[in-house]
Amino acid sequence: MPKQKLLISSFIILIIAFLLSLIFILRDLIPREIIAFGSLFLFFIGIVTLFTRYIDKPVPMSIGIILIFGFVFRSIYSFNLYNTITSPFPDSFKYLENLETLLIMGNPSFTSVESIVGTSQFFYYFIMYYTYSIFNTNYALYIVNILFFSVSMLFLYQVILKDFGKKIAYWTTVASIFSMTFFTFTSTILKDSTVLLLAMSIAFIYKTCSKKYYIFLILLLPLLFTTRIYAGASMLLAILVDILLNKTKGLNILFRMIPIIGIILVLLLAFNYTFLQSYLDLGADFLTSNSILEGIIGIPLAFINLTFTPVPWGVFTNQHSAYSLIQIDTFFTLLFSFSLILFVVKVLKNEELRRKIHFYILPILVHAYVLGTAYGGGVRQKIAVYSFIILLYVIGLLYKKSSNKSLHPIKQTDQ
């Protein structure tokens, strides 16, 4: 059976490689938009094949099929945006304007991009620049974001599977795929898909991969900081606390602190002696200009604002805006709000759940604190932790003490 599986998978990979080669051979005869969609769609099918066949605890085929059809549907929606209004969000036009400047300049560096775009959160511009350079069409910018979202959902399933088992992983992932919040913000030209992919990649590596792959966290965390700084800070905090509580369990407090101190020292060196130094200044400015005590006191209200906005009353009216679809999400969060009470009860009663859930709760609380303090709330800015918010609902409804088993998603193969 494994040999048959290998033959089928190899055949699929050969077909994908052949079709990709054919697309690029005929690129002068095919519209650039079709080349962008075809290439990235075939690439995604290859990734789905990997996650549904080649890992020890594979992603269910139903999720793979939903994602493939969702990829096509989102691409059609994005193509309509591309040919009409470009985007319902003003930020998209700012991104495109800065991209045009970068393309004229050529060979962007961290310092040159930062000076042009006027912000230290600039990594998404590199994604835009190289995507456009490869496909030479703005439509590719939409498709790359759809690809990033779709891959993030595969990572999400594996992360939740590791901690909470198949049922919770399945329904959290399915709910995220059908979320109108994700659909709205990851199907246009915004950096949210990049934020989401980086956050899920960090969680995936930390939760499911062996320690030898942790070196990639040193690369991905700075990239997340340079895309959305508080998303990077929230994932870093979650990892540090999890190391302290779980990875060094059984050691005395001194030895438990050694890896934490080591990670902090490495990061301090990186942030003090590289282009990342400006992020320390941004963090210090934020903390000094805002009351930490007031922010902490306001976290419960900020969490409510993070979870239940925008209010869903617009679903029942004829008033439409860029956020109209998102109101469908908030309608369901209000409808199932009782599950948050169930979640709190289960956390208080279950030590095993408390040991796992902090990794997901801490990023949510960091986002609630930052967005509640600096922005008065945030609909789009919560994208990195929105699946974690959905997870709280699913745990409230479905979690049982025996719902998780020892899971090891990555197959060990003989070399």
Instruction: Tell me what pLDDT residue 414 has.
Output: 38
Contact 13, 46 (CB under 8 A): yes
Instruction: Tell me what pLDDT residue 245 has.
Output: 84
Contact 143, 35 (CB under 8 A): no
Report pLDDT digits (tens) over 278-320.
555 655 565 566 655 565 666 777 788 788 777 665 555 666 7
What's this model's pTM, rounded to 2 decimal places?
A: 0.87
Residue 249 makes CB contacts below 8 A (sequence gap 6+) with: none
Measured between alpha carbons, how far is 341 from 323 in angstroms, rounded to an integer? 27
Instruction: Tell me what pLDDT residue 411 has.
Output: 44
Instruction: Tell me what pLDDT residue 81 has.
Output: 97
Measured between alpha carbons, how far is 101 from 48 in angstroms, rounded to an integer? 36
Sign of CA dihedral 233, 178, 314, 395: negative
**Which DSSP category does 369 fall into?**
H
How many other C-beta atoms are found inside a 10 Å radius of the C-beta of residue 31? 11
Instruction: Tell me what pLDDT residue 315 has.
Output: 53
Instruction: Tell me what pLDDT residue 21 has.
Output: 77
Domain range summary for the chain, segments of one domain joined by +: 2-398
Residue stretches of the chain with pLDDT short of 70: 1-11, 248-298, 311-319, 374-378, 402-415
Instruction: Tell me what pLDDT residue 405 has.
Output: 47
Instruction: Tell me what pLDDT residue 397 has.
Output: 96
- Give residue 181's identity as a one-letter amino acid code: T
Instruction: Tell me what pLDDT residue 260 has.
Output: 63
Contact 232, 224 (CB under 8 A): yes
The single residue listed with the structure tokens 């088992």 is 165
